[in-house]
Chains A and B, each alone.
Chain A
Amino acid sequence: MTAITDSADATRWWQSRAVRRFRNHKLAMIGMVMIVALTLACVFGPYLLPHDSLNINLIARFSPPLTGDHYLGTDPLGRDIAARLLMAGRISLLVGFFAMVLSTVIGAAIGVIAGYRGGWVGAALMRMTDAFLSYPSIFLLLALAALLKPSPVMITIIIAVTSWMEIARIVEAEVRSLREREFVQAGRMLGLSGTHIMFREILPNAMGPIIVAATLTVARAILLEAYVSFLGYGIQPPLPSWGNMLNGAQQYLATAPWLAIIPGITITIAVTSFNFIGDGLRDALDVRNDHP
């Protein structure tokens, strides 16, 4: 984090220009508020609701929203949708977050090594990155999810394995441009090891683009988890996730549209919020705008 806050040496980090610009970014603040609210609701909400997310009640099945104390209605097994939505949010947000962490670590490591070493090592690593990018991500993701036994941890790993490439490219480009700068040469002259220079000297200076890309990766990971679970190869019931809540929704579309609408809107809100935050961070951290 040093690189970001260095510019404001006399002041605290929360008084820095980047933080001020981020706080003045309306969309980013909206996204921030929504994510915090969603996270709090998912953490504490299930304890406050009258129904348990796994409680099957066949008499009350297919209740539309606002029936009695089923605020968002019930699903085909009579389970409370509000309770399931919040429990599912825990899974989906956790999968999104940890997939981001893992893919950022993979992408940053590959990007730093490729960018710093250059030569045939760099070329080989970047061609591998290009090759991974040639596969439509959903195809690769689904094939892996169908072959390996799906569990929340496995899904997280699979999503990370199929979405580290963008970060690797960003970091590689950034590191390549920093490689010949004076502070790196100074490090080399001091006899610091390659690993130390790569991860302790160069990487912190590439933190801005990494943070932005990581934020957008959370959004992407949530979407991917939803896709895979919707198709039945992701998080397996009875464990709810936003994706698998939509799994059976299509067949009841005519009679119980809320089964499809409610989780979908929640996914859209969560993903939009992360995209807003990413946009704000990009402006605040002065990252070159070459992304839509």
Chain B
Amino acid sequence: MLGFLLNRLWQSAVLLVIVSIIGFLVLNLIPGGPLSQFALDPGMTQDDIDRIAAQMGLDRPLLVQYFDWAWKLLQGDWGHSFRDGSPVLDVIRRHLFATLLLMGSSTAIAIGLGTWIGIRGATHRYSTFDYSATIGAMIALSIPTFWFGLVGIYVFSLRLGWVPAGNMYTIGDQSFLNYLHHLILPSVVLALVNIAVWSRYMRSATLDVISQDFVNTARAKGVSERRVLMKHVVGNALLPMITLAGMQLPSLLSGALVTETVFTWPGMGRLFLDSLGYSDYPVVMGLLMFSAILVLLGNLIADIIVALVDPRIRLG
């Protein structure tokens, strides 16, 4: 287990280095580089910009700059927002909760519904339910999330008036119910794609398990079909799903960004878009790095959980 853990940590560290190199290269793609805020200022001459560049050490070789930047990143110095001068990590932290809330609730919906659809599709293979679930999943994967959000707003808030059209809470009312009321539509919208993905994987995982010998053995011993399914099949089929949940993190974050935009949800996605609009590159870069680190962490945690649950990996 310790060997596995160290190996996995080492892999994540290597990935983090490569991720940071890609991030650094993107940062230097910006016209004007890290000095772009001054490049737009008409009061600045080229001499001024050169002087600031020298002061900030931007005239050094790229490799030296990278190590300097990466070292600061490790120490938690992610630069300051152009907009209000507050540290980038603080800005991100202020928006983290909203995104995690949205992602968490939509993942809960997706896992609940997706697991059920997947298992039912596998146990009733080639039934009408299975076919409709398969086709439904393919269509769900093809609907642009932001457009589905627009349609949801049109139907459920503009026409029917059941839920608010955006924001996380009504100003002056931060009760739990108020949050919940605002949360329903965006989390269902974000969940759609994930229900589709989750149910497809759950179906094939269940089919894999259902045909194995120990399931037949359980049946032969006279264990009831319901108990076979619940105890022997579902538990084992859910194992690879933990890895899937980790793998789905990047697309979940992408989806959250799009959903937040449509629902003016004050999370990281909204922040990312606003920062792009203000050319607030430190925050943009910070979010890019932060989300990648979040994904690496998520995958690491998923792998560790799988190793803890599955003796084949723990002992292997």
With A and B bound together, what is the CA distance between A66 and B272 in angstroms? 39
A131 on interface, CB distance cutoff 8 Å: yes
Are A136 and B295 interface neighbours, CB within 8 A? Answer: yes
| Mask of B16-47 contacts with A, CB within 8 angstroms, 1/0 | 00110110001001110000000000000000
Encoded as 1 (CB less than 8 Å from any B CB) or 0, chain A from 117 to 161 comes to 000000000011011111111111011101110000000000000
Q: Is the CB of A139 within 8 A of B287?
A: yes
Closest CB in chain A relative to B7 CB, distance in Å? 14
- Asked if B88 lies at the interface with its beta carbon under 8 angstroms from chain A, I say no
Complex Cα distance, B285 from A105, in Å, reads 28
Assuming A136-B257, A138-B258, is B142 touching A260 (CB within 8 A)?
Answer: no
Tell me the bound Cα distance from A219 to B193 in angstroms. Answer: 14
Most chain A CB neighbours (cut-off 10 Å) among B196, B258, B292: B292
User: At the interface, yes or no: A272 with Cβ under 8 Å from chain B?
Assistant: yes
Does B143 interact with chain A (Cβ within 8 Å)? yes
The answer to whether A253 touches B139 (Cβ under 8 A) is no
Whether A144 and B29, one on each chain, are in contact in the complex, defined by CB atoms closer than 8 angstroms, is yes
Q: Which residue of B lies closest to A129 (CB)?
A: B18
Q: A27 touching B135 by the CB < 8 A rule?
A: yes
**Complex contact B158–A292 (CB within 8 A):** no
- Choice from A135, A261, A267, A279 contacting B250 with Cβ under 8 Å: A135
- Report Cα–Cα, A249/B144, bound state, in Å: 14
Give A265 to B137 CA distance when docked, in angstroms.
Answer: 16
Asked if A233 and B276 sit within 8 Å, CB to CB, the answer is: yes
Residues A139 and B142 in contact in the complex (CB < 8 Å), given A131-B15, A131-B22, A253-B153? no
> Quick one: CB contact mask for A255-270 with B, threshold 8 Å, 1 for yes?
0010011011001100
Contact A227 B144 (CB under 8 A): yes
Q: Interface segment, B50-58, B197-205, B226-234?
A: B197-205
A100 an interface residue at 8 Å Cβ cutoff? no
Query: A132's contact among B22, B197, B273, B288, by CB below 8 Å, is which?
Result: B22
Which chain B positions have C-beta within 8 A of A249?
150
B141 CB-CB contact with A under 8 Å = yes
Asked if A147 contacts B254 (CB within 8 A), the reply is no
- Whether A292 contacts B141 by the Cβ 8 Å rule is yes
Residues of A contacting B295 with CB < 8 Å? 134-136
**Are A137 and B146 in contact, CB atoms less than 8 angstroms apart?**
no
For B142, list chain A residues within 8 Å (CB): 219, 223, 268, 271-272, 275
Residues on A with beta carbons closer than 8 Å to the beta carbon of B135? 27
Given known A-B contacts A137-B250, A139-B291, A250-B262, A257 and B154 have beta carbons under 8 A apart: yes
Instruction: Tell me if A43 is interfacial: C-beta within 8 Å of chain B.
Output: no
Residue from the list B26, B291, B299 in contact with A136, Cβ < 8 A? B291
Q: Which of B149-167 contact A (CB under 8 A)?
A: 150-151, 153-154, 158
Closest beta carbon of chain A to B251's beta carbon, Å: 7
**Bound complex: CA of A231 vs CA of B26, how far in Å?**
20
Nearest CB in chain B: distance from A275 CB, A = 5
List CB contacts (< 8 Å) of B121-151 with chain A: 135, 137-139, 141-144, 146-147, 150-151
User: Is A230 close to B, CB under 8 A?
Assistant: yes
B139 touches A268 (CB 8 A): yes
Closest-CB distance, A233 to chain B (whole angstroms): 7
A-B residue pairs in contact (CB < 8 Å), sample of 28 = A27-B135, A27-B138, A131-B15, A134-B250, A134-B296, A135-B295, A136-B292, A138-B254, A139-B257, A139-B291, A140-B288, A142-B273, A143-B284, A144-B29, A148-B29, A219-B142, A246-B146, A246-B147, A250-B262, A263-B147, A264-B147, A268-B142, A268-B143, A272-B138, A275-B138, A276-B138, A292-B141, A292-B196
A residues contacting B by CB (< 8 A) are 27, 127-128, 130-140, 142-144, 146-148, 219, 223, 226-227, 230-231, 233, 246, 249-250, 253-254, 257, 260-261, 263-264, 267-268, 271-272, 275-276, 279, 289-290, 292
Which residues of chain B have a CB within 8 Å of any CB of chain A?
Answer: 14-15, 18-19, 21-22, 26, 29-31, 135, 137-139, 141-144, 146-147, 150-151, 153-154, 158, 196-197, 200-201, 204, 250-251, 253-254, 257-258, 261-262, 272-273, 276, 284-285, 287-288, 291-292, 295-296, 299
**Top 4 nearest A-B pairs by Cβ distance?**
A292-B200, A264-B147, A271-B142, A131-B18
